[in-house]
Amino acid sequence: MIIKNSEFIISAVSPLQYPTDNRVEMAFVGRSNAGKSSLINVVTNRRKLAKTSGTPGKTRLINFFLINNEFYFVDLPGYGFAKVSKKEQEKWGNMIEKYLIDRPQLKKIVLLVDSRHKPTKDDINMYEWIKHYGYETIIVATKSDKLKKSEFQKNKKIIKDTLNIRDEDKFVFFSALNKSGKEEVIDLLTEGIIEME
């Protein structure tokens, strides 16, 4: 699928603000510095659609982007890195959890992990949580331009083993810098979407 149109719709803090048109949604989760906004910008060919920042943890709301007037990308607040109070982190956690539990439109979840490092405890918890609720999961290992050729298979095994990735889950390396993995990510995201609507 070619993404021709993408537009920011709303930043939400509660279900009352979520879109009400029942289009299919795909959510992006990951650590604060995993590169969710950069991935969304590369996939949509829009440099500034999702706001990126040198300060991890900038996304503090649930951001909805309408894609091709057909479905939504949903950028969730990052976890595990931002220098915010415990109370603020709990608030984000509750906001994310409420969205993930109570959203029948949500069909796929993209979990971003840094390809250079072993997944963190937060990554493992998030993955287990996603699987507990039965969502189709795509693991995107970001910043792959920083890897040597010899590291790809080794790091893929470390990530898969650490998360205990299920056979049905998809896995792809991605780089926002050189755009490698972009087409594969789009294919995995949009696969079966027409049938879902």
CATH number at residue 17: 3.40.50.300
Domain contains 15: yes
Average pLDDT score over residue span 170-187 = 95
Average pLDDT score over residue span 73-93 = 73
Domain contains 185: yes
Domain contains 113: yes
Domain contains 57: yes
> What is the crossing angle of helices 152-163 and 121-132, to 10°?
60
| Predicted confidence (pLDDT) per residue in 92-137, tens digit | 677 888 888 889 999 999 999 999 999 999 899 999 989 988 899 9
Query: Are 64 and 18 contacting, i.e. CB atoms less than 8 angstroms apart?
Result: yes
Domain contains 145: yes
| Predicted confidence (pLDDT) per residue in 5-60, tens digit | 999 999 998 899 999 999 999 999 998 888 888 999 999 988 778 776 554 445 57
Q: Can you give the pTM of this predicted structure?
A: 0.89
The total number of structural domains that make up the chain: 1
Q: Secondary structure of the chain: what % helix, strand, coil (to 5)?
A: 35, 25, 40
Query: Are 74 and 40 contacting, i.e. CB atoms less than 8 angstroms apart?
Result: no
* Domain span including residue 185: 6-196
Where residue 84 falls among pLDDT bands split at 50, 70, 90? low
Cα 193–Cα 67–Cα 82 angle in degrees, nearest 5: 105
Query: Are 170 and 139 contacting, i.e. CB atoms less than 8 angstroms apart?
Result: yes
Domain contains 1: no
